[in-house]
Structure 1
Amino acid sequence: MKFRDGMWAVAEGVRVEYAEEVYDITETDKGLSLLCPSKKIRGRGDTLNCSTLTIDLEAPHDGIISVETTHWAGAARKGPNFQLFPQGGQKFEPKISKSDKGTTLSSGSLSATINPADNTFGIKFHSTEGSKVLTSLAARSVGLAYNPAWSNMLQTGDMTNFKHYVFTQTNLGVGETIHGLGERFGAFNKVGQAISLWNADGGTSSEQAYKNVSFWLSNRGYGVFIDTPGKVELEIGSERCCRAQTSIEGQRLKWYIIYGPSPKEVLHRYSILTGRPAKVPSWSYGLWLTTSFTTNYDEATVNSFLEGMKERDIQVDVFHYDCFWMKGFRWTDFIFDPEKFPDPKAQIARLKSSGLVSKVCVWINPYIAQHGAAFAHAAEKGYLVKRKNGDIWQWDLWQAGMGLVDFTNPEAVKWYVECLNELFDKGVDCIKTDFGERIPTLDVEWFDKEVDPHKMHNYYAYLYNKIVYNALQARYGETEAVLFARAACAGTQQFPLVWGGDCESTPEAMAESIRGGLGLGLSGFTFWSNDIGGFEGSPAPWIYKRWVAFGLLCSHSRLHGSGSYRVPWLIDNDDRSPEGCSAVLAKWTALKTRLMPYLMAQGVKAVEAGLPLSVRAMCVEFPEDPTCWYLDRQFMIGESLLAAPVFEEAGEVEFYLPKGKWTCFFTEQTREGPGWFRETHGFGSMPLYVREHTMLVLGKEGIRGAVYNYKKDVEVLVFKSKDNKTASADIVGSDGSFVGTLKESDFEVGAGQLLEGNSTIRRI
């Protein structure tokens, strides 16, 4: 939200009051409390008829400082609130010092220093050892605003017709770039954008986002986490070009500044603050095939798809039943359509015993249509959100007369989990938790009367996914749970995984999806997927094949559409040539299967560090290269593989290689970076380059299925650097357990301690 009209004028209808000076500094148990009046105090009389802002600075953890700005402290503190330090944080003692440079609060490697000059406002955030200034709160950078503007302070005795805002503006340095804020599909660098953090079902080609995460990362070595699940408005160089403004409607605004200095260190500390991503089972890395959305299918249809995939040598690890496993007008009643699936438990058992697929997923959402059997029971028991007059909240958008499960009611949660367990009893292994964005805020009353409906809008996605994820863990074990979720907010990274929502079947939409994945990865999410071929419409064969190459190099890979199937032979009239859709899908699926020893090991490391696995923004691995902060059409897969998807039918692609020697995975030809390169690729290849000084462990040729022994009969490729440093690779089991670190020297004695069978090494 903009509060000013240019630099000199206030926006029409708005009254703005700024913290004009730091009048008083009080030491607290956790840090400093600053009293900041909205005018300069030069005499006692100036303290009258004057608003103040209190800024509390606290040091909860090494490299992290919180900044909370409060106008009226008597405002109710309604929830929900993000659970911070969910895995526990280290005890940390803040350090306060004073000098001629000001009063400084130090939190290990990060410090905040208050300008000591009289009648002045200013807070500088910098590295404790003094070598780096990160950002600052300069003059007129912290304030409050009313809309509409009042003409007499007496009017504020009744706030019914006023909106009240608190805002802060951190400085943007010369050349500073801002990234993250969830899965956003617009420009990768957010400077110049106005962004609302408010979950919405807007597709991938709009300013809206399914996953709004109140965290952004700067190329200057720090990040900012905004500690509210409510609506946040950001003007990132779009109100004042040199400032990033954060505003909320309310009386308090709290955020945390997190120091790196590298992006990896920032993201690691962010994961400590909001929660570390959980591990995912190895089978989930394999290819997922779905029924698509509005298509017509039954057991015979499903079998024909999977048999067709097997015939074409395409291994499917997970089959997903989308919405119409239930009857229309009855979502979500958790009951299989008896006409299509008269005995779902037996049908799922037959599917698995056939060997065509190892796991089964089904679609759900938190909306309960009134024509389904679940509605009457949930309504009677009080499990649905209500209107203020006591009616059940309902509308006809999406499902006729649908209600919304009230996850603030413990009994509603218990009932919902019971419904999930009935699905698990039938053989369902994982859940697609769709929707959760259209959460009402007006004329609603939650079971928990202490929650703010506006804060519940984004936070609902966290509760929804957490409840389903915990149910899966309770049934299948801590490391076997996996979701396929669309909505998210900060903290939801703890319940993997998510996919990119509804995209069109165009190359532009594929690029949008990549930008969304890059941004979400810089918001603390390790695992991400998208709809291969696009969701809306029917992809042309060339788009499908280019998207297959991209999608199979993401951490998770799913074929899914809206009104048309995504099996390859229906895309190109069953072209059986080497360049046909079936052959291309078979090749890329086989490649991902071979990469599983590398992917699984890198996934474990990514979880521990709070990093994206794939798609990983180039700046995470190469933060000192300015170009890497602008690259939004390529990505890293873990630490050592670089992928640049192709967006042209003819196969032309331009990509960037950072400094060092890079080896093409397919041809083993090398290139020297830094520099831009152009190549032309058929559908069976793309720019896939291996970083120097890499040991890449691959499964044996011809292996099928994502789950196998990652240390038996493997091929080890060593990509040397100019200085011939010894390369190494972590070896993990198919359950993600650490086996050991493989070194080149191990092969001199047969590698017997870590590898099994006929494992080979080749130096490139």
Structure 2
Amino acid sequence: MDEKIKVRVQGQDKKVYYKEPSPDRIKMYYEYTQDNFRKGKDYNLKLKKFARITNWKKMTWGLLLDIEGDCIHNTQIDCDGELRPIIDETVETEHFKGFLRLEVYEKGIFRLLAGEGGERQHHTVMLEGVPPLQTDQYEVKEEGDMLWITTDTCKAMVNLAEFGFSIYGRDGKKVYCQENNDKVLRFTHESFPFGFVENPATGERIGVCSSRMEHDEHYFGFGEQYSPVDKKMQEVDVFITDPLSVGSPRTYVSLPFYFSTRGYGMYVNTHYRSKFFMGNRSNRCASCHIYGESLIDIFYIYGEEPKTILKRYTDITGKSPMIPKWSFGLWMSRCSYKTEDEVLEVGREMRKRDLPCDVINIDTDWFEIPWACDWKFGKHNFPHPEEMIKELDSMGIKLSLWQKPYVTSECLPELRDQLREKGWIPLNPYGEDARSNPVIDLSNPDCCQWYKEQLKNLFQMGVSVIKTDMGEGVPVEGKYHGYDGDEIHNIYPYLYSRAAYEASRESIAEPILWGRSTYAGGQKYPIHWAGDPFTDFDGLRFSIRSGLSMGMSGFTFWSHDVGGFLGRPSEEVYIRWMQAGMFCSHVRCHGANNPREPWTFGERAETIFRKFDKLRYELIPYIYSTAYTRGKQGLPVMEHLYLSNPDDRNCLSVEDEWMFGDAFLVAPVLNEGGEREVYYPDGQWYHYFSEEIKQGKQYDAVKMELDNMPLYVKAGSIVPTGKAEDHITGADDALTICVYGKESGYTEFLYYNGEEHLIKAAFDMGSVQVETGGLKGNISVKLITNRGIEIKTDVREHCTFEV
């Protein structure tokens, strides 16, 4: 008998099953003839009730079965290329009655859906536009009420009697376990078991999933969070709002994803509000509560390394696309430039003072009435916008424009009435505008198209970027197109960002936006910045926390307001903030009602600013290449130390340093006087400006003058650099490949400038061999070691240094 013959298994209810979750429940029966089976032919196989399928294994071509009895062994079932869940049936346990559906995907991803109603499918906007996940090969064994699923990556166990779900690593170590028995007394729960509970005061049904918490476990993620980056012992309210600062638990970007140091991630796929209690209510478990949702839809993500979990999470929700090269230059802004002349004068001053810059942003005052957004330039202060844009372009400067999705009713009553007549303004239960300055209903396709046309008119004039401010104030009392207020509140910023990004993509060659709020999956529409921080060192510290947290949540690109927003920073705060900002994926100077141009802080500030501004522009080949690689991987440019050092427990609590790509350790000064303690992860570290070497896995107290900062490069790194021009051009002229020496080992760096080139360096006891990856042009190679610097020019394919 050939083991590769396709066979279909038919159940007693005459339906064809392409999987066999439980012979006892489906009551299979068999009838077959003794004819010889021929290869390549399909057969229908019927099993009698006494036959038993004891084991099955999911293969790329179908299911491989083991059938107990006189039947066919190791036969194949054709799955017709469709996903078939392992479990898809109604169950009843002590704490849950409803349907369960378990799906297995490639790379250690499991999707669990549960509900009390009849609906078994779940659609969310966050998964739209993302390539579908592929099914994995898996083997299933049933042991009583236990179902064991083994994949190439990990193993999972389902307890069907009391519904429990666990994940195990390849080594058999349990990395995740549902906690369904967290009780003080027999009837008193500290956290609720998997299923739905009812709020007795309101009658609201709440979906609940509780997870066992180990004593040495830590949690990261949840989007933009200003509280400590490690979320253990914290409560996270996934409800997007305008916090008006960076000093509270409220946040512009909150999302229902986290990962654990035990080796798993959890993404709750919901539009609705959710809350996570990460050990602050119970010492035994972390719990998730989902409000208003009729389904529990959870993706469990296994990963031996935290970067693996992030890569797999962004396989589900999407990865950040590449954005224009010029966006990695300096952005200059304030709230707000008020006239054409003021905008052009800032551009001229940047060029006159030899300060590289690529973007100027006009904030709230480019309309006829400041803040009254009608997507039209005011004729009084901006009478010739196209000429202004052309002059900026002649300087190599792009224009960014602020706008908002709210209609200022007092100033724009005709626009409000026009949108209301079309049904594009949400109303409350009394038939009134749900918001005094109404939000436009971007869940309505016609309204969304109208909004995109307003932006496209600006792109046609030569505008390069739209700043999507606000969007957090969507009233839950409103009624929207296809959504109630509770469902749309969190996803509105996502719909807002998506519409603006699509308008950009449909208008210009290199789409981009500058957004404040979004939700899970929002990384598909970059860039996002951290909102309105205080103009002091606290504002800088909390902003850095939020950037690290965003990077732990799938966002490759992130920025913040250099100098802070609310108030006027001191010279020291401004310079230290600028130094930190130059080593984020994007850097923008911005503030409210006062300038952020460096010369307004004095000659010393301008000189120091110029030093770091030019340094960033020299590093553009490194930054752009890093952005390209990290975007494809779903990883951040600004990386928490734990991501690259998961075995170093010291890195868990470091939230004022980060890796800038693979090479740079950034440890900005965050207080007056220039002193701080730096933690160096494993390896050797060259101070960028002095080449002094620090040893890894230790702390060091440093003191830096205002024109210096703790900036280090890891030994063995490859850092391509270029010439600092006044703005970024397409070509990397006069490329220099900087190689930081170490005793032995091998390093690669993927250089990207429209084409990929793999640069390699091999270190062997004083000998360093560098391959340029086929790069053409004027290439130099610089070797930095503890003995000094050596440069070779006009390098073609490779070169060798003997140290």
CA contact (8 A) 1:332 1:374 kept: no
Question: Map of 1:188-227 to 2, 5 A cutoff?
Answer: 188-202=229-243, 203-227=245-269
CA contact (8 A) 1:720 1:727 kept: no
Letter in 1 for 2:622: Y
TM-score w.r.t. the length of structure 2 is 0.82
Q: Tell me the residue number matched to 1:686.
A: 709
Q: Tell me the residue number matched to 2:755.
A: 737
**Is the deviation greater in 667-676 or in 87-96?**
87-96
* Structure 2 Cα separation of the partners of residues 379 and 332 of structure 1: 16
Q: Tell me the residue number matched to 1:707.
A: 729
Q: Deviations over 1:482-516 (max 9, x none)?
A: 11100010111001000000100010111100100
Q: Deviations over 1:140-163 (max 9, x none)?
A: 3324322226xxxxxxxxxxx511
Q: Tell me the residue number matched to 1:590.
A: 614
SS in 1 for 2:454: helix
Counterpart pick for 1:698 among 716, 721, 724: 721
Question: Map of 1:260-271 to 2, 5 A cutoff?
Answer: 260-271=303-314
Using the aligned pairs only, state the percent identity.
27
* Structure 1 Cα separation of the partners of residues 752 and 261 of structure 2: 33
In the superposition, relative to structure 1, how do residues 93 and 252 fare at CA in structure 2: closer, same or farther (>3 Å)? same
Letter in 2 for 1:87: P
Q: Tell me the residue number matched to 1:124.
A: 166
In the superposition, relative to structure 1, how do residues 332 and 85 fare at CA in structure 2: closer, same or farther (>3 Å)? closer
* Structure 2 Cα separation of the partners of residues 651 and 327 of structure 1: 45
Q: Deviations over 1:525-546 (max 9, x none)?
A: 0000000000001001100000
CA contact (8 A) 1:84 1:273 kept: no
Q: Tell me the residue number matched to 1:156.
A: none
Q: Tell me the residue number matched to 2:542.
A: 512
CA contact (8 A) 2:684 2:715 kept: yes
* Structure 1 Cα separation of the partners of residues 311 and 551 of structure 2: 12
Q: Tell me the residue number matched to 1:259.
A: 302
Q: Tell me the residue number matched to 2:319.
A: 276
Letter in 2 for 1:705: H
CA contact (8 A) 2:533 2:564 kept: yes
CA contact (8 A) 1:65 1:110 kept: no
CA contact (8 A) 2:124 2:269 kept: no
Give the superposition deviation at 1:519. 0.6
Q: Tell me the residue number matched to 1:152.
A: none
| Rg comparison, structure with higher value | 2
Question: Map of 1:98-247 to 2, 5 A cutoff?
Answer: 98-99=142-143, 102-115=146-159, 122-127=164-169, 129-140=170-181, 141-148=193-200, 161-202=202-243, 203-247=245-289
Letter in 2 for 1:358: I
TM-score w.r.t. the length of structure 1 is 0.86
Higher relative contact order (CA 8 A, sep 6+): 1
Counterpart pick for 1:538 among 563, 568, 575: 568
Structure 2 residue 626 is matched with structure 1 residue 602: yes
In the superposition, relative to structure 1, how do residues 61 and 84 fare at CA in structure 2: closer, same or farther (>3 Å)? farther
Question: Map of 1:565-584 to 2, 5 A cutoff?
Answer: 565-571=595-601, 574=602, 576=603, 580-584=604-608
Give the superposition deviation at 1:327. 3.2
**Is the deviation greater in 258-267 or in 328-337?**
328-337
Question: Map of 1:272-421 to 2, 5 A cutoff?
Answer: 272-290=315-333, 292-293=334-335, 295=336, 297-328=338-369, 331-353=372-394, 355=395, 357-370=396-409, 371-372=411-412, 374-388=415-429, 390-395=431-436, 402-421=437-456
* Structure 1 Cα separation of the partners of residues 278 and 768 of structure 2: 53
In the superposition, relative to structure 1, how do residues 77 and 656 fare at CA in structure 2: closer, same or farther (>3 Å)? same
CA contact (8 A) 1:529 1:551 kept: yes
* Structure 2 Cα separation of the partners of residues 714 and 60 of structure 1: 43
CA contact (8 A) 1:80 1:456 kept: no
Consecutive unaligned residues in structure 2, runs of 5 or more: 1-21, 27-55, 57-82, 182-192, 786-803
Letter in 2 for 1:387: N
CA contact (8 A) 1:713 1:757 kept: yes
Counterpart pick for 1:73 among 107, 117, 125: 117
* Structure 2 Cα separation of the partners of residues 94 and 652 of structure 1: 55
CA contact (8 A) 1:329 1:369 kept: no
SS in 2 for 1:404: coil
Structure 2 residue 690 is matched with structure 1 residue 649: no
Letter in 1 for 2:736: E
Counterpart pick for 1:89 among 133, 137, 150: 133
In the superposition, relative to structure 1, how do residues 100 and 84 fare at CA in structure 2: closer, same or farther (>3 Å)? farther
* Structure 2 Cα separation of the partners of residues 486 and 288 of structure 1: 16
In the superposition, relative to structure 1, how do residues 747 and 709 fare at CA in structure 2: closer, same or farther (>3 Å)? farther
Give the superposition deviation at 1:550. 0.3
* Structure 1 Cα separation of the partners of residues 457 and 480 of structure 2: 27
CA contact (8 A) 2:138 2:149 kept: yes
SS in 1 for 2:681: strand
CA contact (8 A) 2:266 2:301 kept: yes
* Structure 1 Cα separation of the partners of residues 129 and 721 of structure 2: 37
- Superposed CA RMSD in Å reads 2.6
Q: Tell me the residue number matched to 2:740.
A: 719
Q: Tell me the residue number matched to 2:50.
A: none
Q: Deviations over 1:567-588 (max 9, x none)?
A: 12223xx3x2xxx111111111
CA contact (8 A) 1:559 1:566 kept: yes
* Structure 1 Cα separation of the partners of residues 199 and 730 of structure 2: 61
SS in 1 for 2:127: coil
* Structure 1 Cα separation of the partners of residues 25 and 156 of structure 2: 13
CA contact (8 A) 1:196 1:234 kept: yes
CA contact (8 A) 1:740 1:754 kept: no
Letter in 1 for 2:542: E
* Structure 1 Cα separation of the partners of residues 379 and 762 of structure 2: 58
In the superposition, relative to structure 1, how do residues 94 and 750 fare at CA in structure 2: closer, same or farther (>3 Å)? closer
CA contact (8 A) 1:235 1:245 kept: yes
Q: Deviations over 1:414-461 (max 9, x none)?
A: 21111111111221111100011111111x22223xx23212111111
SS in 1 for 2:683: strand
* Structure 2 Cα separation of the partners of residues 755 and 747 of structure 1: 21
Letter in 2 for 1:458: N
Q: Tell me the residue number matched to 1:16.
A: none
Structure 2 residue 799 is matched with structure 1 residue 761: no
Counterpart pick for 2:556 among 526, 532, 556: 526
In the superposition, relative to structure 1, how do residues 430 and 241 fare at CA in structure 2: closer, same or farther (>3 Å)? same
Letter in 2 for 1:281: P
* Structure 1 Cα separation of the partners of residues 300 and 771 of structure 2: 49
Q: Tell me the residue number matched to 1:19.
A: none
Letter in 2 for 1:147: N
Letter in 2 for 1:190: K
Give the superposition deviation at 1:331. 2.3
Q: Deviations over 1:722-748 (max 9, x none)?
A: 32x243322221xx4324435569997
CA contact (8 A) 1:115 1:122 kept: yes
Counterpart pick for 2:85 among 26, 30, 37: 30
In the superposition, relative to structure 1, how do residues 173 and 36 fare at CA in structure 2: closer, same or farther (>3 Å)? farther
Letter in 1 for 2:688: F
Letter in 2 for 1:67: L
* Structure 2 Cα separation of the partners of residues 171 and 243 of structure 1: 4
Q: Tell me the residue number matched to 2:484.
A: 452
CA contact (8 A) 1:664 1:670 kept: yes
Give the superposition deviation at 1:343. 1.5
Give the superposition deviation at 1:87. 2.5
Give the superposition deviation at 1:81. 4.2
* Structure 2 Cα separation of the partners of residues 743 and 296 of structure 1: 48
- Aligned residue pairs, count: 690
Structure 2 residue 637 is matched with structure 1 residue 613: yes
Letter in 2 for 1:665: Y
